[in-house]
């Protein structure tokens, strides 16, 4: 596990270079996307790099971490909608090569894992982290061997995400998410965390024990993980 500490702007540039390096080496790379406010600077930088001709996503496939149950891709708070507007519309990727778990057809969510495997497996998975240590929507207590599944969202998670909705009553109660094993199957992982609110959980998942009480702690066991933090998020780390 490598930890980098920089400004939010520098983090976006550094992380983007990982994508540029990967895709220029492997033009048909498989990337794993994430949503929320944290990756937006990275996505803007990737769009900038693509527009400048430094990288092409024409043969890339993308698999996103999660989606709200009950929202289709036309809903402005669905993660499909987010990815289309924050990244896919601004790069030269084939939209047919972009995949997001279905929030409507949730009868057999683990088929998403079959799709990832058939594509060749994720080369670089992007993650954020919740204040309770969740990655994707894998809340505390999620088994480490879990595959893509439907999860009931914790009240705290819904409250945090309510800022994107008119009220918490509109925030879905369930989501479909890659499982922890799905995430760990990626050949490499980037996790970005910024802000003082993430400092405590950053310390816990990097320096604490590996436990399902903090799902992100399992990343300590992955062979290739890069953590990008700003000064505030890294403020409680000992090392």
| Beta-strand pair 30-33/124-127 | parallel
| Beta-strand pair 149-152/66-68 | unpaired
Check: pTM over 0.85? Answer yes or no: yes
Task: Write the pLDDT tens digit of every residue in 16-52.
Answer: 999 999 999 999 999 999 998 999 999 999 999 999 9
Task: Write the pLDDT tens digit of every residue in 162-191.
Answer: 888 888 988 888 999 999 999 999 999 999
Is residue 151 a contact partner of residue 177, using CB atoms and an 8 Å limit?
yes
Could you tell me which residues come within 8 angstroms of residue 93 by beta carbon, excluding any fewer than 6 positions away?
57, 58, 60, 62
Is residue 69 a contact partner of residue 103, using CB atoms and an 8 Å limit?
yes
How many whole angstroms separate alpha carbon 194 and alpha carbon 237? 14
Q: What is the mean pLDDT of residues 62-66?
A: 97
How many whole angstroms separate alpha carbon 213 and alpha carbon 200? 14
Instruction: Categorize the per-residue pLDDT at 159 as very low, low, confident or very high, splitting at 50, 70 and 90.
Output: confident
Does the pLDDT of residue 103 top 80, yes or no?
A: yes
Question: Which amino acids are annotated catalytic?
Answer: 66, 132, 134, 139
């Amino acid at each position: 596990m490598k930890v980098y500490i920089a400004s939010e702007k520098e983090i976006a540039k550094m992380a983007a270079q990982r994508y540029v390096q990967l895709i220029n080496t492997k033009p048909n790379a498989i990337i794993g996307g994430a949503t929320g406010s944290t990756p937006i600077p990275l996505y803007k930088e990737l769009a900038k790099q693509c527009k400048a001709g430094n990288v092409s996503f024409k043969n890339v496939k993308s698999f996103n971490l999660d989606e709200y149950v009950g929202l289709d891709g036309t809903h402005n708070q669905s993660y499909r909608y987010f990815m289309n507007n924050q990244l896919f519309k601004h790069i030269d990727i084939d939209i047919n090569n972009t995949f997001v778990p279905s929030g409507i057809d949730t009868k057999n969510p683990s088929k998403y894992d079959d799709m990832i495997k058939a594509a060749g497996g994720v080369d670089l998975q992007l993650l954020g982290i919740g204040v309770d240590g969740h990655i994707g929507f894998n809340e505390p207590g999620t088994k480490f061997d879990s595959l893509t599944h439907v999860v009931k969202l914790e009240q705290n998670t819904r409250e945090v995400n309510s800022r994107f909705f008119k009220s918490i009553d509109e925030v879905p109660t369930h989501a479909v998410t890659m499982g922890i094993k799905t995430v760990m199957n990626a050949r490499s992982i980037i996790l970005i965390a910024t802000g003082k609110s993430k400092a405590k959980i950053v310390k816990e998942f990097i320096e604490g024990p590996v436990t399902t009480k903090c799902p992100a702690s399992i990343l300590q066991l992955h062979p290739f993980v890069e953590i990008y933090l700003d000064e505030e998020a890294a403020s409680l780390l000992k090392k």
